[in-house]
Structures are given as C-alpha cells and as structure tokens.
Amino acid sequence: MTGKKKGKLTKVLDYLKHEDPFSKGVAFCPGCGLELLLRFIPQVLGNDIVITGTPSCSAPVLLGQNNQSWHTLSYFGTLMTGAAANATGLARYYRKAGIKNTVVCFNGDGTAADIGFGNLSGAAERNEPFIYICYDNEGYMNTGVQKSATTPYGASTTTTPFGTASKGKNLRRMNLALKMAMHKIPYAATATLSDLGDLAKKLLKAKEAKERGFAFLHVFAPCTTGWGYAPENTIEVCRRAVKTNYFPLWEAINGKIRMTKTVKKPKPVSTYTELMKKFAHLNEADLQILQDDVDYEYCMLGGLSTLEAECHIPESVED
C-alpha cells in the first residue's frame, strides 16, 4: 500500500492454510518451541485432525483445565505407557467406520524414546495408519527436567546434574528417528523450527504417507526453561543444531534415507552448546566426546543415504 521498498513475504506463510485452533493466551513458557510447533501443525494439516498424547508439557494445554479447553481440536489424553496403542485404536476405529481424518499421536521424547517406546515400535512394525510426532526437548520437562534417552552427552539435568560427583549425562543419546526409519515405515523424518518450510513439507508428506501406514516425525523443539537459554534464542538454537549437524534434517521413505538439507561447512558443536546453560560446564575433552558422537552419527547417516551404490534397496512390499 505504501511506497516503501518491500521484500517478498516468506513462502512459509503459504503453508498456513488453516486457522490456528488455539486460544491466544495459553500456558506455555515465553519462547517455548513446543508452543510454536503445536500452533503450526493444525495450520498446515487442517483443524480436522484428532490429537492424542500423554502427560507432558503439551498436556495441560491439549487436555484443558477445569471445564474449559484451550483449543477446538479433538484431543484424546492417554497414559505415557500406551500412547501409540491408543492411537492405533483410534485410527482403526475411524478406518472401520469409513471416517476420513488424520490421527496425530503427539508426544515428548520421554514418552516416545523411553516410557512408550515399546508400543511405538509395535505400531510402526504393524504399519498402523497414523502420524506419530515426537517433539524432542531432550528430557522430561514437565516433571522438572530429568534426562531421557535423547538427552545428549554432557547435558546437566536434574537426574544427571553437574556437580562434584557428576559432570552431566555420561552416556551418548539414542537416535530415535533413525531407529524408527529402520522399521521401514512409509515415512520417517527429522525436522526443526528454524526450517519451517521443510517442516511443513514433511507434515504434508506424513499426512499423505499415513494412507499407506505409519508416519513418524521427530521434531527438535528446544525448551528455554529446561535448557537454560534466553527465550529469544529458540530459533537460533534450532538453526545452530542444524548447522553443526547436531540435528541433521533427513527423511526416509520405506526405510530409504535421503538428506533434505546438507550443510556445506558444518560448524563445531561448541557453537551450538555455547548458547545453553545445560552445557556450560563442559571442558574441551567433554566437548570432543559430544563432537565425536555428532560426527559419528552424521557419518552413519551419510552412509545410509548413499547405499544405492552398494546394495539393492527394496521399495516396499505393500499391496
């Protein structure tokens, strides 16, 4: 309207085709990555999704309080132990009843990687037709920042505190997304909040893939409160996680892995850890252990994404 110079509106806005079903004032910390993710998903996938999930930071908002709700989506609250089994029941009911919709099983890493992993793996193996989204804040945030299987080496949490007897988690993290891709499901992918166009594409691919069976998204969603960084840095934390290959972006169709973003000159992992208090105590030797783990995982992904040259990869065995 005015005469001043304008850039182009970001294309990400084109993916936001549906209303934000949440009320404007909801109970997430300022700068919470999970809040952005939760508002983003239905704006891309539509408001006719059924979300199901477990006790976690997402639950107080998804489940509602007193007699009221914070949003207009359909939500089914489950136990941490059986999230994917409950989603299986929902998805099978809708399929049997001939109701077309999308079941989204939405959980933190505590549920996905630890407490509810068995039935997640089972649902993937049976190729149940729903989308499972794990928002990874690398720990049990709602109960006060305990470590989970996806907590990285060296991170200080309340169960792996930095102090005289402990230097943070003394184990390397488990690669949940890779483990899920190895179920050879129709779709598995990693995504994060700095690359929202990539996230939107992967959400739409997951919705399409769930017509053929299980779809899994692993979304890196930083937690300002539990990780100890300034709230304004949430997107920067994601960006640096990608630029250091700490959290590489890839997708796998029927188990066949493809990088969706390659970083030309990956930065040292210290450019990522320096943003956060949970890593503040790491010395050079500790950082090297974390760096070696990042390099090893990336190397492994690289190998898996270029397997065609070496072996025949079966497409899928669907009818």
Partner 1 sequence: MSPNKFFKHEGPWSDANDPLMCSDTGDWRTKRPVVDKDTCIFCGFCAIYCPIQVMEMVENSHFTPDLAFCKGCGICAKECPKNAISMIAEGDF
165 lines the binding site for partner 1 (CB under 8 A): no
Distance from C-alpha of 243 to C-alpha of 263, rounded to nearest angstrom: 6
Q: Total binding residues for partner 1 by CB under 8 A?
A: 60
Residue labelled with tokens 């402990």: 166
Pattern of binders to partner 1 over 96-135, x per CB under 8 A?
A: ---x-x----------------------------------
Residue 158 binds ligand TPP, judged by CB under 6 A: no
Nearer to ligand TPP, 49 or 62 (CB): 62
- In angstroms, give the least distance from the CB of 81 to partner 1: 18
Compare residues 122 and 228 and give the one whose CB is closer to partner 1: 228
**Positive or negative CA dihedral for 115, 119, 121, 127?**
negative
Q: Is 56 one of the binding residues for ligand TPP (CB under 6 A)?
A: yes
Contacts of 19 (CB under 8 A, 6+ apart): 42, 43, 47
Q: Which of the choices ligand TPP, ligand SF4, partner 1, none does residue 109 contact, using the CB cut-off of 5 to 8 A by kind?
A: ligand TPP
| Positions 248 through 287 that interact with ligand TPP (CB under 6 A) | none
- CA dist 219 and 145 (Å) reads 18
Residue 110 site contact among partner 1, ligand TPP, ligand SF4, none (CB < 5 to 8 Å, cut-off depends on kind):
ligand TPP
Q: Which stretch binds ligand SF4 (CB under 6 A): 24-32, 37-45, 175-183, 272-280?
A: 24-32
Site size toward ligand SF4 (CB under 6 A) is 11
Query: Of 46 and 228, which has the nearer Cβ to ligand SF4?
Result: 228
Least distance between partner 1 and beta carbon 276 (Å): 15
Token digits of residue 135 = 């928002």
Using CB atoms within 10 Å of the CB of residue 284, give its burial: 0 to 12 exposed, 13 to 18 middle, 19+ buried: exposed
- 3-class SS of residue 129: coil
3-class DSSP state for residue 71? Answer: strand
Kindly report the number of other CB atoms within 10 A of residue 280's CB atom: 13
Interacting residue with ligand SF4 among 43, 78, 137, 291 (CB under 6 A): 137
Q: What token pair was written down for 196?
A: 């929202």
- Contact call for residue 72 and ligand TPP (CB under 6 A): no
- Cβ neighbours, 10 Å, residue 99: 9
What does the angle CA 205 – CA 206 – CA 209 come to, to the nearest 5 degrees?
85
Phi and psi angles of residue 285, each rounded to the nearest 5 degrees, phi first: -65, -40
Figure out which of the listed residues 118, 231, 268, 314 binds partner 1, where binding follows CB under 8 A.
231
Q: Which of residues 242-271 bind partner 1 (CB under 8 A)?
A: none
Q: Which residues are within 8 A (CB) of 80 and not within 5 positions of it... i.e. 6 or more apart?
A: 54, 55, 56, 107, 110, 111, 115, 116
Q: Select the residue interacting with ligand SF4 from 193, 223, 269, 304 (CB under 6 A).
A: 223
Among 130, 140, 141, smallest CA distance to 51 is for 130
- 55 interacts with ligand TPP by CB under 6 A: yes
Q: Is 58 in the site for ligand TPP (CB under 6 A)?
A: yes
| 3 state SS of 183 | coil
Question: Tokens 């099978």 belong to which residue?
Answer: 92
Within residues 29-68, the interface with partner 1 by CB under 8 A covers 30-33, 35-36, 39, 43, 47-48, 50, 63-68
For ligand SF4, the closer of residues 58 and 190 by Cβ is 58
Which positions touch ligand SF4 (CB under 6 A)?
28-29, 32, 34, 57, 137, 141, 223-226
